[in-house]
Amino acid sequence: MKLVKDTNNNKNLEQISDQEAEEAFKTILKWMGEDPNREGLLETPKRVVKAFKEYFKGYNENPNQILDKTFGDVEGYDDMVIQKNISVQSHCEHHMAPIIGKAHVAYIPKNRVVGLSKLARVVEVFSKRLQTQERLTMQIANTLMDSLDAKGVAVTIDSTHQCMTMRGIKKEQASTVTNYYLGEFKEDLSCQNRYLRFISIAKE
């Protein structure tokens, strides 16, 4: 084991090797009542480690760097930019169960805009971490507001949580909606209402 720097939180974290992680998953298989040495499970710990690297790759990415490059040649465009239906696949931090849904993101540029794919990438970075939906919504909004020096930012996430659809209360049709507004979206209800009308089209 060795310590590595968490660039997102400026902390030193203990780095665990792939082999150590695989051994941990073997222990979990035994705890479940399985035999990790049977043929069908021999490669499972390695596959799970590989999958987890994909599920949680956001810990190794800095969302602020994604927004470094902006464009000023927009001929004075100063109305909201909205990107709808950004797929969200995350995991809740309480049960590590999937969170599946969509995000809608809007910002009002001050002087510069950012490439459209960058909005989706910011959603992706924060989604690929253990999350609560409330924090995820706020992290996306605050990062866009700060990095773009925007006049306002709005973020909406509509998702289902498998920690309550597959276990516990088991309400399969329940979805959760969170909204977070900054700047003009928070201060001006007409701006907020325009945004909500625009994203409601995505649900028809």
Catalytic residues: 92-95, 133, 161, 163
Identify which of 70, 62, 176 has the alpha carbon closest to the alpha carbon of residue 126.
62
End-to-end CA distance of the chain: 51
> 């990107």: which residue's tokens?
83
DSSP run (H or E) holding 110: none
Q: How far apart are CA 203 and CA 12, in angstroms?
A: 43
User: Which residues does 105 contact at the CB level (< 8 Å), separation at least 6?
Assistant: 82, 83, 86, 119, 122, 123, 140, 144, 153, 154, 155, 156
Please name which of 149, 150, 136, 146 lies closest in space to residue 101, comparing C-alpha atoms: 136
Residues 23, 29: Cα–Cα separation, whole Å: 10
Other Cβ atoms within 10 Å of 95 Cβ, number: 14
| Interstrand relation of 81-92 and 130-131 (parallel, antiparallel or unpaired) | parallel
